Homo-oligomer: A and B are copies of this chain.
Amino acid sequence: MTSRRPVSHTPPSVVSADTIVTSQLEVETPGAGFFDVTADVAAFLREAGATEGTLTLFIRHTSASLTIQENADPSVLDDLATALDRLAPAGGGWTHDTEGPDDMPGHIKSMLTAVSLAIPVLEKRLALGTWQAIYLIEHRSAPHRRQIVLQFCGRTG
């Protein structure tokens, strides 16, 4: 630890919050995996004319979920999938198994990751870090049609 206080912050930016813009993204997943929806979310913000405010993402499912993760090396996504498989194994002796061996692990993985995310929008852009992308995680083996509600609250135009 340095003696200097290791926390600092930028001067606040202030705008009127005037508008809520909502849309639903529909994503067809071919089976389990991580699907980058960052460009689709950015397109919604452009269409909405979003300038500054908060974007909420909400996935309307319990065996698919959201995460923000590294977009550079695809092996990160492979390892994240491995980690989730270890934490919620298909052969885990689950009692809920009528919908197949990948269903209950999907619910557990959803609980351990995110159903909703809130991302600030600044200067018309998502305030993501350099290496961050927004992923839909499909936990089921079969193809699914997934819905994510996108809702921007803030200043537009």
Contacts and interface: CB of A to CB of B under 8 A. Distances in A.
Contact of A107 (B61, B70, B92, B110): B70
B28 A111 contact: no
Given A54-B153, A61-B132, A40 B9 contact: yes
Contacts of A19: 14-17
A131 to B, nearest CB: 6
26 contacts: A7-B25, A8-B26, A9-B150, A12-B44, A12-B47, A13-B23, A14-B19, A15-B19, A17-B17, A20-B52, A22-B52, A56-B118, A56-B120, A60-B128, A62-B68, A67-B111, A67-B115, A68-B115, A79-B95, A80-B107, A80-B108, A114-B115, A116-B119, A117-B118, A120-B151, A153-B153
Q: 10 closest Cβ contacts across the A-B interface?
A: A60-B129, A6-B28, A75-B96, A12-B23, A116-B118, A120-B151, A79-B94, A83-B108, A62-B70, A10-B24
